[in-house]
Amino acid sequence: MTTYGSFPGTRPRRLRTTPVMRRMVAETRLHPADFILPAFVREGVSEPVPIAAMPGVVQHTRDTLKKAAAEAVEAGVSGIMLFGVPEEGNKDAVGTAGTDPDGILQVALRDVRAEVGDELLVMSDLCLDEFTDHGHCGVLDDQGRVDNDATLERYAEMAQVQADAGAHVVGPSGMMDGQIGVVRDALDQIGREDVAILAYTAKYASAFYGPFREAVGSSLKGDRKTYQQDAANARESLRELALDLEEGADMVMVKPAGPYLDILAKVAEASDVPVAAYQISGEYSMIEAAAEKGWIDRDRAILESLTGIKRAGARNILTYWATEVARTLR
């Protein structure tokens, strides 16, 4: 560093002097097209149901879901990821409602496609946990363990009914070994080569999913540590990435986002397809709760958290603030 007397000649602060200077030299920019809105639709309700653990987020009716999709289009959001919440009596051991063409998720997919057409990427969560009475992401064997290969058969059926219902993108999220290859084959067998797969490549068994359990009315007892990844492991994510890419993933994802920015950076560096990250329910709820207490500046914290996720390497971000932030950026 060049100095004159006791003063620095090189002053990085010159590039921070005004808002316009900071904007001009910013290395990372958020854009409405970065965002995907996760949304819940609940069977058998006539009014949206607030989710107590996620202030501002609701379980939609079919009509309010269509409105939320239209608002996302208007804001410039790229996609909407749908999660179905069936009535409790429609859950069973194998998640039959998840493959019923008239199940809540398939009905919602048709509703949203009819509302927005191709103006918004309509995505569907491809997993059994919302539809099983035990709350696990797959079929259980006679010892109560998740049976990987029996679950793959169910995922193949789910992929086909979701594609037929209008999904542009399916998101296999169960972390079953071989799920991407099975889903790709199932889609191709029915002539749905154009339906893309967003692989939940690195999905960790996280405490931050807590509020999501309420959002989907989860019946889970126990945990998912035998199939979701261990928080202690990083290299394992790159192994999962290599397998998903080999099996035909069109996009890959890291979930959660904020607590796993190191994993996101590693995956982004190694991937030759677009990388997404899911800012999950616990991340959302912590900021909302702290802001409600007056402990943090809500709007700044939201933007800072999202900027950090994009800076780490995410091309797209699933966030419950998608429409709100997209409107702010526009």
Q: Is 39 helix (H, G, I), strand (E, B) or coil?
A: strand
Contact of 37 with 68, CB cutoff 8 Å: yes
DSSP code of residue 206: -
Residue numbers annotated as active site = 203, 255
Contact of 173 with 203, CB cutoff 8 Å: yes
The length of the chain in residues reads 330
Residue type, 147: D
- Number of neighbouring beta carbons within 10 Å of residue 289: 15
**What does the angle CA 102 – CA 67 – CA 325 come to, to the nearest 5 degrees?**
120
Residue type, 196: A
Q: Is 270 helix (H, G, I), strand (E, B) or coil?
A: helix
34 Cβ contact list (under 8 Å, min separation 6): 78, 310, 314, 315, 316, 317
Tokens 């261990």 belong to 230
Distance CA 151, CA 161 (A): 16
